[in-house]
Structure 1
Amino acid sequence: MKKKNIVIIGGASGIGKEIALHYAADKHQVAVADINKQSLDQLVVESGQGTLIPLEADASSWESIELLAEQIKKRFGTIHTLIYSAGITKSISFFEMDWGVWQKTMAVNLHGLFYSIKFIYPLIERGGSIVIIGSGSAITGTGGGIQYTASKGGAFGLMRSLVQELGNNHININVVAPRVIESDMLDILYPTEQSKAELKKAIPIGRLGTPIDVCQAVKYLSSEEGKYVHGQILLLDGGRTYKSVL
């Protein structure tokens, strides 16, 4: 198996963390960028791998991501896969929404995605991949608040535009759109065991998703076998979204 240089933005916790640990376990060189130094340090300990490189960066900052790209270039020269997993949410209604919550969510979930691709895309080798961790909420309009669904919908549109403009550069770009994945973010939206049990009843496959489910999809889309998959949104939800029409 060819060893790759992988960059994960927002990879010190949640889904991004699981992806980082899987790639590191396979002995790939994995640069994990995150704003939380404590979580980065813990990730390095958990990985036990010399192939995992922690880098502090603020996904919501143009300057921080530009500096991150310079660090990655010095460390790797080129990379094979960019994974954008940074994301935040807050359970809040439309009428309770204030500018601060809206702006911060957009800054991390959408602006940071643009910054990351803007600065890191030139480092991706021919035949490489970009995988964006989106959300099924952008399809349904539910879960995470209006600011979250809007930001994730923006990620869908950005991906489609990039495919049109950059699609002939032999770098495939796709979105993995999870719903109801066991994570810190799910705990925010469904804080009790009872709420999770009710949620599980609405999933035809009969269980919540796991970060490993998302990881396997990401690995496929960035593999040689997944190279012809381009410009797609892969919904991972156990059948929940289209339950009423099954």
Structure 2
Amino acid sequence: MNDQSGIDPRTAQQEEPFPEQQQDLQPGVTGEMSPRPDHGEESWQGRGRLRGRKALITGGDSGIGRAVAIAFAREGADVAIGFLPEEREDAEVTRDLVDAAGQRCLLLPGDLRDEQACIDTIRDVREGFGGIDLLVVNAAYQKQRDGIDQIETSEIERTFHTNLVSMMVLVREAVPHLPEGSSIIVTSSVQAASPSHGLVEYAMTKSAQVAFMQAMAEELGPQGIRVNAVAPGPIWTPLIPATGFPDDKVAEFGQDTPLGRAGQPAELAGAYVYLASDEATYTSGAVLPVTGGRPF
């Protein structure tokens, strides 16, 4: 009889309240967070599941994107990271972690709200790596709203252009160059199924991402390209203290989930590795929720 058991998910990561903290501007930065997120720096052990693959991860400098970059690199993939110029310090840390895994890393600064930046990013990955076969659309913007009467049109446009328009342009530019066996993964959110009024336009974009993913899975399946989404719940990333949540909401972040705590970026990485790998050859058009037990 095996007397070993799995890790208790309630206590696998921090379960105490987070210290009250705010970051004035987005994008938030990792260095100002307390505690620092766990991206799998010490825990992720690769098994060669993505050997020889060429990946682009937008928003790959920090948070979920950094965790995915670490995991992909340790699984054998070269990794290009899209990030805003003001996120360079975080991006360079991620690059060092990819380098330490023995894989190539490209740093591609740019604001993906600009169509040309999306076009240039796909071109630079193709030229730098000699191709692309993994696309992770992860960059996102959200801001807490006190009510619908407080939402400025410029903020709606920023959210929609960051979360939706850039996704469509990146996929449009990448698809002609994706070989059979490629994988596109979109970072959606539990907000797509359980929207919060304070994040209304963000939730709208996350729901629309699911519709886009499902439509692309149908369109691209005959070409041998799989398209899926990951739907994170409350995950401790720089986005959280930079969203404008009240101090008590930051301190209690994630404690209302069935597991009683927020997730860490490292706990998302396995979902992306699975969807990117040949272990998921019959998985397309799916949403993989990683929500701490919240229903999707």
TM-score (norm. length: structure 2): 0.75
Other-structure match for 2:128:
75
Other-structure match for 2:63:
14
> In the superposition, relative to structure 1, how do residues 167 and 48 fare at CA in structure 2: closer, same or farther (>3 Å)?
closer
For residues 196-235 of structure 1, the aligned pairs below 5 Å read 196=250, 198-235=252-289
Q: Is there any run of 5+ residues in structure 2 with no aligned partner, and where?
A: 1-47
* Aligned counterparts of 1:142 and 1:201: Cα–Cα separation in 2: 16
SS in 1 for 2:108: strand
Matching residue's letter, 1:29 = D
* Aligned counterparts of 1:205 and 1:46: Cα–Cα separation in 2: 30
> In the superposition, relative to structure 1, how do residues 154 and 46 fare at CA in structure 2: closer, same or farther (>3 Å)?
same
Q: Which has the higher helix share?
A: 1
1:33 paired to 2:82:
yes
8 Å Cα contact 1:27-1:51 kept in structure 2: no
TM-score (norm. length: structure 1): 0.90
Other-structure match for 1:240:
294
1:207 Cα deviation from its structure 2 partner: 2.4
For residues 131-210 of structure 1, the aligned pairs below 5 Å read 131-142=185-196, 145-187=199-241, 188=243, 190=245, 192=247, 194-196=248-250, 198-210=252-264
SS in 1 for 2:228: strand
Other-structure match for 1:87:
140
8 Å Cα contact 1:14-1:184 kept in structure 2: yes
* Aligned counterparts of 1:33 and 1:149: Cα–Cα separation in 2: 23
SS in 2 for 1:38: helix
SS in 2 for 1:127: coil
8 Å Cα contact 1:137-1:143 kept in structure 2: no
> In the superposition, relative to structure 1, how do residues 159 and 140 fare at CA in structure 2: closer, same or farther (>3 Å)?
same
Matching residue's letter, 2:91 = L
Q: Structure 1 residues 199-208 or 148-157, which shifts more? A: 199-208
SS in 1 for 2:136: strand
1:10 Cα deviation from its structure 2 partner: 1.6
1:195 Cα deviation from its structure 2 partner: 3.0
Q: Structure 1 residues 161-170 or 40-49, which shifts more? A: 40-49
* Aligned counterparts of 2:157 and 2:215: Cα–Cα separation in 1: 23
8 Å Cα contact 1:21-1:47 kept in structure 2: yes
* Aligned counterparts of 2:267 and 2:104: Cα–Cα separation in 1: 23
Q: Structure 1 residues 122-131 or 138-147, which shifts more? A: 138-147
1:112 paired to 2:170:
no
* Aligned counterparts of 1:239 and 1:11: Cα–Cα separation in 2: 26
8 Å Cα contact 2:258-2:293 kept in structure 1: yes
Other-structure match for 1:56:
109
For this pair of structures, how many residues does the alignment match?
241
8 Å Cα contact 2:185-2:275 kept in structure 1: yes
Matching residue's letter, 1:9 = T
8 Å Cα contact 1:182-1:208 kept in structure 2: yes
1:48 Cα deviation from its structure 2 partner: 4.2
Q: Is there any run of 5+ residues in structure 1 with no aligned partner, and where?
A: none
SS in 1 for 2:196: coil
Matching residue's letter, 1:63 = Q
* Aligned counterparts of 1:233 and 1:80: Cα–Cα separation in 2: 20
Q: Which has the higher strand share?
A: 1
Question: Which protein has the larger Cα radius of gyration, Structure 1 or Structure 2?
Answer: 2
* Aligned counterparts of 1:19 and 1:144: Cα–Cα separation in 2: 28
* Aligned counterparts of 1:196 and 1:86: Cα–Cα separation in 2: 21
> In the superposition, relative to structure 1, how do residues 183 and 155 fare at CA in structure 2: closer, same or farther (>3 Å)?
same
1:4 paired to 2:53:
yes
